[in-house]
A and B are shown apart, each in its own frame.
Chain A
Amino acid sequence: MHGRFTTLHAWLLALPAMLLLVLFTHYPVIVTLIDSFFSTPKKNRPSHFVGLDNYDAMVADPVFWKALTNNLIYAGATIPAAIVLALTMALIVNGRIPGRALMRMAFFTPTVLPMVAVANIWLFFFNPNYGAIDQILELVGLKAPNFLGLQQTALWCVIVVAVWKEAGFFMIFYLAALQTIPPDLVEAAAIEGAGRWQILHRVILPLLTPTTLFILINAVINAFRTVDHIFVLTGGGPDNATTVLLYHIYLVGFSFWDQGYAAALTIVLLAGLAAAALLQFFFLDRRVHYR
Chain B
Amino acid sequence: MTAASTTLPIPAETRVGALIETLGAWLLGVLWISPLLYAVWSAFHPAAYSAHFDLTAPLTLENFVKAWNAAPFARYFLNTVLLVTMVLIGQLILSTLAAFAFARYAFFGRDVLFALVLVQLLISPDMLLVANYSTMHTLGLVDTIASMALPHMASAFGIFLLRQTFKQVPPELDEAARIEGCSALGVLWRVYIPLARPVYLAYGLVSVSFHWNNFLWPLIITNSVETRPVTVGLQVFATPDQGVDWSIITAATLMTSGPLLIGFLIFQRQFVQSFMRAGIR
B189 CB within 8 Å of chain A: no
A124 near B38 (CB under 8 angstroms)? yes
Q: Does A109 interact with chain B (Cβ within 8 Å)?
A: yes
> Roughly how many angstroms separate A200 CA and B134 CA in the complex, as a whole number?
52
Chain A nearest CB: distance from B229 CB in Å? 9
Bound state CA distance, A12 and B26, in angstroms?
A: 54
- A187 CA / B265 CA spacing, docked (Å): 35
Q: Are B209 and A28 within 8 A (Cβ)?
A: no
A140 close to chain B: CB less than 8 A = no
Question: Do the beta carbons of B257 and A114 come within 8 Å of each other?
Answer: yes
A173 interface hit (Cβ, 8 Å): yes
Specify which of B4, B51, B126, B238 is in contact with A130 (CB 8 Å cutoff): B51
Which of A97, A106, A172, A214 has a CB less than 8 Å from the CB of B281?
Answer: A214
- List the one stretch of A29-37, A70-78, A149-157 in contact with chain B: A29-37
Choose from B29, B123, B184 the contact partner of A103 (Cβ within 8 Å): B29
Known: A95-B7, A117-B253, A269-B127. A109 touches B36 (CB 8 A): yes
Q: Which one of A59-67, A223-231, A236-244, A282-290 is at the interface? A: A223-231
Q: Nearest chain B CB to A262's CB is how many angstroms away? A: 5
Which partner residue on chain B sits nearest A274 by CB separation?
B122
Quick check: B154 and A20 within 8 Å, CB to CB? Answer: yes
Q: How far is the CA of A95 from the CA of B105 in the complex (A)?
A: 44
**A7-B107, A231-B235 as given contacts; A104 in contact with B272, CB under 8 Å:** yes
Asked if A92 contacts B123 (CB within 8 A), the reply is no
Contact of B123 among A6, A18, A110, A270 (CB under 8 A): A270
B276 / chain A contacts, CB cutoff of 8 Å: 172-173, 175-176
A10 touches B272 (CB 8 A): no
* A113 CB–B CB distance under 8 Å: yes
Interface of A is mostly: helix
B6 and A114 within 8 A (CB):
no
Q: Which residues of A contact B26 (CB under 8 A)?
A: 97, 99, 103
Is A88's CB within 8 Å of the partner chain B?
yes
B196 at the interface (CB under 8 A from A): no
Distance from B253 Cβ to chain A, minimum over Cβ atoms (Å): 4
Q: Which residue of A lies closest to B105 (CB)?
A: A10
Would you call A186 and B8 a contact (CB within 8 A)?
yes
Whole-angstrom CA separation of A173 from B276 in the bound complex: 6
- Chain B 25-61, CB-CB to A under 8 Å as 1, else 0, gives 1101110111110110010000000111000000000
How many whole Å from B204's CB to the nearest CB in chain A?
A: 15
Q: Which of A29, A124, A183, A214 contacts B39 (CB 8 A)?
A: A124
Contact A125 B38 (CB under 8 A): yes
In the assembly, what is the distance between CA of A115 and CA of B218, in Å?
14
Contact with B along A80-103 (1 / 0, CB 8 A): 000000001100101111110011
| B169 lies within 8 A of chain A by Cβ | no
Q: From known contacts A25-B120, A200-B8, A273-B123, infer whether A114 and B215 are also in contact, taking CB-CB under 8 Å.
A: yes
Contacts of B184 in A (CB 8 A): 1, 9
The 10 closest A-B pairs by CB, nearest first: A28-B131, A20-B154, A10-B105, A114-B213, A13-B101, A130-B51, A176-B276, A10-B107, A24-B151, A17-B98
A-B contact pairs, 19 of them (CB 8 A): A7-B105, A7-B107, A9-B101, A10-B105, A17-B97, A17-B154, A18-B116, A24-B132, A24-B151, A104-B272, A114-B212, A114-B213, A114-B260, A115-B213, A120-B253, A172-B279, A179-B6, A221-B122, A277-B122
